[in-house]
A and B are shown apart, each in its own frame.
Chain A
Amino acid sequence: MASITLEGLKKTYSGDVQAVKGVDLEVHDGEFVVLVGPSGCGKSTLLRMVAGLETITEGTLKIGDRVVNKLEPAERDIAMVFQNYALYPHMTVYNNLAYGLKNRGFNKDEIEKRVQVAAEMLEIEEFLDRKPRKLSGGQRQRVAMGRALVREPAAFLFDEPLSNLDAKLRVQMRVEIKQLQRRLKTTSLYVTHDQLEAMTLGDRLVVLNAGQIEQVGTPMQIYARPATMFVAGFIGSPAMNMVPVEYLHARGANGLLDNLPEGTDIVGIRPDDMHLAPPAGQHLIVESTLQLFEAAGAESHLYVNLADSDQPTVIRVSGQPPVAEGETLRFYVTRDALHPFNSTTGQRTGD
């Protein structure tokens, strides 16, 4: 059990490629923090720096109170779950779990005991004497988790552990990982590019872009109040629509936009905040043409182009409204659904 502290962590590859440009982060003891971002944002590099698989160019990394910058992965008291599981193909599941313990000089009884406990927890007891190749993807995933579990480390590091599973299994494993972490209360750092995974798993999210932290917060904080345009576009699906303030003014805002914070020139609107029926209270009215109607069961996505600007916009409504492609649609937005941003700085301007 320990916290993980990152202070000004930087990673520069030869040729002056900056993969991580100074990250400050504190993962509290027992917390589940998810690093999320598009591919190439440096999230995996960051995790690998914590694991000790990448060297740290600059900054300090602490696990507990120990500075571990120069320590080998094995000395950092962490366990890692890899994307492709990286099980040892020639060893049985039992030996896969036991290998790390053997290397640390645990005695046989203790190894036996720990492997049994982990296997029971992950329901893989019946596979213990099989080779990984005889297991299905989900079972391998469990073995990979088990290998981390038996070590009882100070922290778990997950590198996109679910991305090789099919959609159904992914949801199931997601729930199990969450429950397991709740039970064990082991500090965890989890990397994913899947925002749904990030939202559902993390106690806190860290949204990364281009080697820098864009925003840190609980999933709902980030969803409700994205700090930058990048976060606004990245978290939430379908992505948040961005509409220039000028456009709304020109459509007749009824003074509704007058109290936007200074510097606001673009506003974000979540697809769910665009209503087809006029809501109570003051609201904006925008006209658009329906380009594509996408029925997704309980909800529908309407792809529309705003009138006179052809800007593509997505509306999410529940159920299936009686609309036809090519039709002109009018939608309504209330003032509190607007997320004000400055398009030059990309920052949220207030609210």
Chain B
Amino acid sequence: MVENRPWSNFFAHTILILGVALVMLPVYIAIVASTQEPGEFLRGTLPLLPGGNGIDNYTTMWQTGISRAGAPAAGTMLLNSVIMALAITIGKLFISILSAFAIVYFRFRFRVFFFWLIFITLMLPVEVRILPTYQVVADLGMLNSFAGLSIPLIASATATFLFRQFFMTVPEEMLEAARVDGAGPLKFFKDILLPLSTTNIAALFVIMFIYGWNQYLWPLLITTDADYYTIVMGIQRMTAEENPQWHLIMAAVVMAALPPVLVILFMQRLFVKGLTETEK
């Protein structure tokens, strides 16, 4: 579009800049707060300029954590979070793409019924089924384990549904051409469907990773061993203290925010590439 309207340009930019400022302010405050001296927050005013204690705060948080609050080193918690989020993401993608494949490409009895069964679980968030799930996980002896943290969250109606919708847009002839070319169902899946789904997989990877990363209630329920604490619930534990050490907590917050950002940056390249290269 070729346009030359200085005023509308000016307004558009003002609004965009305001929006960015609004979103960035809390992030900025978190970063600034994480560089302050321990006593800084007790004065009641929020400092807006970075302090000089940043490196100290981050090292302390990364290496030792706040043991008084029952939160282990942020390093451990971050690692736990990464393991849980990755397990959930990969598990979800794996299961949902295969079930979508089955639902779209195989004619079996009660196919529609199974689809609706999966679809209906969309309406049940983790919180609704948390008690029975806890019971099951406890009975299976999976409390305080990575399996317990991730497996119950792996089933995903959303991803199955999205993959199903995508598969239905792939022309029928593609499957037929592959059949004539001697590709069986799994070969078709591996050689044709999977490469075509790259964009969708990348997008869902981001969504699922953030979903897994942000899990709070579930890890809180099933972990009692500090070795399995995740960062999101760890932060909560730290703030529950009587005199929260905000400078350390903010350091943890900044660290907790980084992995999802990295995942988005990395995956964005992949799905922009996918968007510009795929064509049906």
Chain B 168-181: CB-based contact to A (< 8 A → 1; otherwise 0)? 00010110111111
Residues of A within 8 A of B171 (CB): 84, 86
Taking a contact as CB atoms under 8 Å apart, the answer to whether B173 and A86 are in contact is: yes
Task: List CB contacts (< 8 Å) of B260-280 with chain A.
Answer: 277-280
Give the distance in Å from the alpha carbon of A83 to the alpha carbon of B187 in the complex. Answer: 23
Look across to chain A and name the residue whose beta carbon is closest to the beta carbon of B278.
Answer: A89
Kindly list 16 other residue pairs between chains A and B, CB separation below 8 angstroms, not including A80-B176, A86-B171, A90-B195. Answer: A53-B176, A72-B179, A73-B176, A74-B179, A74-B180, A78-B180, A82-B173, A84-B171, A86-B174, A88-B192, A89-B279, A99-B191, A100-B182, A103-B181, A133-B277, A147-B181
Interface string of B145-176 (1 = CB under 8 A from A): 00000000000000000000000000101101
Bound: A133/B276 CA distance, A: 11
Within 8 A of B (CB), among A41-95: 51-53, 72-74, 78-80, 82-90
- Contact partners of A131 in chain B: CB under 8 A: 277
Residues of B in contact (CB 8 Å), total 20
For residue A103, which residue of chain B has the nearest CB?
A: B182
- In the bound complex, how far is the Cα of B172 from the Cα of A84, in angstroms? 10
Contact of B181 with A90 in the complex, beta carbons under 8 Å: no
Does any Cβ of B come within 8 Å of A183's Cβ? Answer: no
Most buried by A among B180, B183, B187, B195: B180
Please state if A73 and B180 are interface contacts (CB–CB under 8 Å): yes
Q: Roughly how many angstroms separate A80 CA and B182 CA in the complex, as a whole number?
A: 12
- DSSP majority for the B interface? helix
Query: Of the candidates A73, A83, A89, which one forms a contact with B179 in the assembled complex, judged by CB atoms under 8 Å apart?
Result: A73
With an 8 A cutoff between CB atoms, is B196 at the interface?
yes
Q: A108 in the interface, Cβ–Cβ < 8 Å?
A: no
Is A168 among interface residues, defined by CB-CB distance under 8 A? no
Q: Which residues of A contact B173 (CB under 8 A)?
A: 82-86
Q: Give Cα A102 to B32, complex, Å.
A: 59
What count of chain A residues pass the 8 Å CB interface test?
26
* Interchain CB contact (< 8 A) of B196 among A72, A80, A90, A147: A90
**B181, B277, B279: the one within 8 Å of A99 (CB):** B181
Bound Cα distance from A87 to B173, whole angstroms: 9
On chain A, the residues within 8 Å of B196 by CB distance are: 89-90
Q: Name which residue of chain A comes closest to B183, CB basis.
A: A103
How many residue pairs at the A-B interface have CB separations less than 8 Å?
66
- Quick one: which of A81-138 are within 8 Å of B by CB? 82-90, 99-100, 103-104, 131-133
A69 to B124, CA, bound (A): 47
A32 to B99, CA, bound (A): 43
Report whether B278 and A90 are in contact in the complex, using a CB–CB cutoff of 8 Å. yes
Using CB atoms, name the residue of chain A closest to B274: A90
Which residues of B sit under 8 angstroms from A87, Cβ to Cβ?
A: 177
Query: How far, in angstroms, from A89 to B279 measured CA to CA in the complex?
Result: 6
- Candidate in B176, B179, B182, B279 with the most chain A CB atoms within 10 angstroms: B182
Q: Identify B177's interface contact among A80, A104, A133, CB under 8 A.
A: A80
Q: Which of A51, A87, A90 has the most CB of B within 10 A?
A: A90
Are the CB atoms of A100 and B174 closer together than 8 Å? no
Contacts of A86 in B (CB 8 A): 171, 173-174, 176-177
Max count, chain A CB within 10 A of own CB: residue among B176, B187, B277, B278:
B176
A78 / chain B contacts, CB cutoff of 8 Å: 180
Q: Which of B174, B182, B191, B277 contacts A104 (CB 8 A)?
A: B182
CA distance A87 to B171 in the complex (A): 10
Q: Tell me which of B177, B192, B195, B278 has the highest count of chain A C-beta atoms within 10 A of its own C-beta.
A: B177
Closest Cβ of chain A: how far from B5's Cβ, in Å? 36
C-alpha spacing A51/B177, complex, angstroms: 10
When C-beta atoms are compared, the residue in chain B nearest to A84 turns out to be B173
CA distance A215 to B278 in the complex (A): 45
How far apart are the CA atoms of A313 and B65 in the complex, in Å? 95
Q: Could you say which of A83, A88, A100, A133 contacts B180, with CB atoms under 8 Å apart?
A: A100
Q: How far is the CA of A131 from the CA of B276 in the complex (A)?
A: 13
Task: State whether A133 and B279 are in contact (beta carbons under 8 Å apart), knowing that A53-B176, A82-B173, A86-B171 are contacts in the complex.
Answer: yes
Cα–Cα distance between A79 and B278 once the two chains are bound (Å): 26
Whether B183 pairs with A80 at a CB distance below 8 angstroms is no
Residues in chain B near residue A85, CB distance under 8 A: 173
A145 to chain B, nearest CB (A): 13
Q: How far is the CA of A84 from the CA of B176 in the complex (A)?
A: 12
Nearest-Cβ distance from residue A282 to partner chain B, whole angstroms = 56
Question: Which residue of chain B lies nearest to A104 when distances are taken between CB atoms in the complex?
Answer: B182
B81 to chain A, nearest CB (A): 34
Q: Closest 6 CB pairs between A and B?
A: A86-B173, A100-B181, A74-B182, A103-B182, A86-B177, A133-B279
**Chain B: minimal CB distance from A137 (Å):** 13
User: Which residues from chain A contact B280 at a C-beta distance below 8 Å?
Assistant: 89
Q: Are B187 and A103 in contact (CB under 8 A)?
A: yes
Known: A86-B174, A90-B195. A53 touches B179 (CB 8 A): yes
- Chain A neighbourhood of B177, CB < 8 A: 80, 82, 86-88, 147
B145 CB → nearest A CB, Å:
39
Interface positions, chain B 235-280, Cβ under 8 Å from A, are 277-280
Query: How distant is the Cα of A143 from the Cα of B176 in the complex, in angstroms?
Result: 16
A83 contacts across to B, CB distance below 8 A = 173
User: Residues of B contacting A52 with CB < 8 Å?
Assistant: 179-180
Most chain-A Cβ atoms within 10 A of its Cβ — which of B173, B174, B279? Answer: B173
Q: Quick one: given A90-B196, A90-B278, are A82 and B181 in contact (CB under 8 Å)?
A: no
